Structure 1
Amino acid sequence: MRYCSLGSGSRGNATLIEYGRTRLLVDCGFSLRATEQRLAAAGLSPHQLTAILVTHEHSDHIKGVERLAQRYRLPVYMTAGTYLGMGETALPVELIRFGQELVIGEIRVTPVPVPHDAREPCQFIFDSGSHRLGVLTDTGMITPLITEMYSGLDALFLEANYDPLMLANGPYPPFLRARVGGQLGHLSNQQAAGLLEAIDMSALKYVAIAHISEKNNRPELALGELSRVLDGWEGELRLAVQNHGLPWQDITGNTQPHLAHIGSR
């Protein structure tokens, strides 16, 4: 199993998960043309995709979903609330129901409900049968269910959206600061680190920091906070960025301990 990010941040998100001949795209927050270009940079054609999974209806996650799905005849999976939240659309969808796993091609997918200011948001855990990858972004707080579901993973794509001091003193108006930092907003660097402290990390070898705010965070702050709780951990810590995403990460091979440097791609 391997995964990559086509881009992660407030200007667009898309994450690829691949196992065998199954390739799942989680969200598509870029225009059709930009998505095609980013897929090409990852060595793929849209024709090679198996399905699109949507976490929630915010524009930085769904901007290109409808056009990509229609042009390449891709099935789309989302919750009923997300479908309603998208508004008028002729897009046929497969509905996600919490408590029910999906089997898409060679990958078993578990949807996880998360607190976020959307109609019925979810995140996902992907299981190849021998390795498990968790994707967790756009989450306002860590719930007991999240701690339970994201324990025992081999890899984790984890939001560290903001630094509290930068958010408090940044350019956002008060209502937007309250939204981002609230229980239905995003995870701070400290909340992301707290999840790592709370979960079973005995199998965890790969962590990628995702959805970093360009105005309320800095890569070195997120990396520093997570590195602090990963002291002595023998694994790889990476960084997904807005413009270049994150290259393919193979979570099945052997790894040498590595902490990503600032600006890594």
Structure 2
Amino acid sequence: MRYCSLGSGSRGNATLVESGRTRLLIDCGFSLRTTEQRLAAVGLSARQLTAILVTHEHSDHVQGVEKLVRRYGLPVYMTPGTYHGMRGADIAFQPIELDRAFQLGEVEVTPVAVPHDAREPCQFIFDNGKCRLGVLTDTGSITPWIVQRYGGLDALFLEANYDPHMLANGPYPPRLQARVGGSLGHLSNQQAAALLAAIDRSRLRHVTIAHISEKNNRPDLALGELAGTLEGWDGQLLLAVQDRGLPWQDISASPSYHFADIGSR
């Protein structure tokens, strides 16, 4: 199994998971043209995708979903609440149930309920029988259920959206600050680190920091906070960025100890 990011942040999100001939696109927050270009940059065409999975209806996650589905005839999976939140999307969709696993090709997909200010949001865990990958962004707080579900992973694509000091002293008005930092908003660097401290990390070999804010965070702050929690850990700590995403990461192999911002190269 391997994964990559086409871009991660408030201006657009899309993540790819591949196992054998199964290729899943999680969210599509870019225009159709940009999505096609970014897929080509990682060696794929949209025609090679098995399906699209949607976490929630916010525009930085669904901007390109409808056009991509219609142009390429791709199946799309989301909760009924997310579909209704997309108001008027002219697409057929396959409804999924929170916390009920289903099979797509060679991958078992589990939608995990998360607290976020959307209609029926979820995040995903992917299991091909050998490796388990968790994707967890757009989550306002860490629940006991999240701690339980995200334990025992081989890789974790994890939001560290903001630094509390930068958010409090940044350009956002108070109402938007309260939304981002609230229990239905996004995870701070400290919350992301706390999750890593709480989960079973016995198999964990890859952690990628995702959905980092360009206005309320810095890569060095996010990397430093998570690296402190992972001190002595034998794995890779990476960063997915907005414009360049993250190259393909093979989670089948065991990496050597390495903290690196691959996405910024």
**Interval containing the TM-score (normalised by the shorter chain):** over 0.9
> Quick one: which amino acid aligns to residue 38 of structure 1?
R
- Kept after mapping to 1: 8 A contact 2:245/2:263: no
- Kept after mapping to 1: 8 A contact 2:244/2:264: no
Spell out, residue by residue over 1:10-32, the C-alpha distance to the aligned partner (whole angstroms, 9 max, x if none): 00000000000000000000000
Structure 1 residue 27 corresponds to structure 2 residue 27: yes
Residue matched to 2:211 = 211
Change (3 A) 1:263 1:109: closer
| Residue 254 of structure 1, CA deviation | 2.6
Spell out, residue by residue over 1:148-188, the C-alpha distance to the aligned partner (whole angstroms, 9 max, x if none): 00000000000000000000000000000000000000000
Residue matched to 2:243 = 243
* Counterpart Cα distance in 1 of 2:227 and 2:117: 29
* Counterpart Cα distance in 1 of 2:8 and 2:61: 10
Please, which runs of 5 or more residues in structure 2 have no aligned partner? none
Structure 1 residue 134 corresponds to structure 2 residue 142: no
> Quick one: which amino acid aligns to residue 55 of structure 1?
T
> Quick one: which amino acid aligns to residue 132 of structure 2?
R
> Quick one: which amino acid aligns to residue 173 of structure 2?
P
Q: Give the paired residue count.
A: 265
Q: SS of the residue aligned with 2:197?
A: helix
Q: What are the residue-to-residue correspondences of 1:64-83 with 2, within 5 Å?
A: 64-83=64-83
* Counterpart Cα distance in 2 of 1:264 and 1:142: 28
* Counterpart Cα distance in 1 of 2:97 and 2:216: 34
Q: What are the residue-to-residue correspondences of 1:140-179 with 2, within 5 Å?
A: 140-179=140-179
* Counterpart Cα distance in 2 of 1:151 and 1:254: 18
Residue matched to 1:97 = 97
- Kept after mapping to 1: 8 A contact 2:114/2:123: yes
Q: SS of the residue aligned with 1:37?
A: helix
Residue matched to 1:110 = 110
| Residue 98 of structure 1, CA deviation | 1.6
- Kept after mapping to 1: 8 A contact 2:238/2:262: no
> Quick one: which amino acid aligns to residue 37 of structure 2?
Q
